[in-house]
Amino acid sequence: MDCLFCKIILGEVPAQVVSETEHTLAFRDINPQAPVHVLVIPKIHVPNFAALAEHPEALAAVAAQAAAVAKAEGVDASGYRVVFNTGSGAGQTVFHVHAHLLGGRGLNWPPG
């Protein structure tokens, strides 16, 4: 399968890894949209949020690591956002599910 994020998990494509657990990997977005912009992915290949919802353990692991990274990066007190772009109409470009963790600046609502 030709999946960029599976290649990052396998170490075939380099990434700035922030932290890793048995079931998840967190790494910095290559095109950051905020001072803190980290992607959190499950190590199993699932294409999107709907598919991740069918794997509750993986979903919980992604959520737990996003919260842990937010704390480690120091954005938990000021506030942060966790986003799953789902489908090309919502801006999804990589079809290995990933949570965007964004923080370190003011975040408008609603998002664009």
Which of these segments, 12-20, 29-37, 58-66, 92-100, binds Zn ion (CB under 5 A)?
92-100
**Strand order across the beta sheet in which 24-28 lies:** 17-20, 24-28, 36-42, 99-103, 80-83
- Please give the residue ranges that form the binding site for ligand AMP (CB under 6 A): 4, 13, 15, 29-31, 39, 85, 91-94
Residue 4, H or E segment? helix 4-10
User: Catalytic: which of 37, 96, 98, 100?
Assistant: 98
23 noted as active-site residue? no
Which residues touch 29 (CB under 8 Å, ≥6 apart)? 37, 38, 39, 100
Comparison of 77 and 86: residue with beta carbon closer to ligand AMP: 86
Closest CA to 90 of 112, 66, 107: 112
Comparison of 13 and 60: residue with beta carbon closer to ligand AMP: 13
- Active-site annotation, residues: 98
Q: Which residues bind Zn ion (CB under 5 A)?
A: 3, 5-6, 45, 96
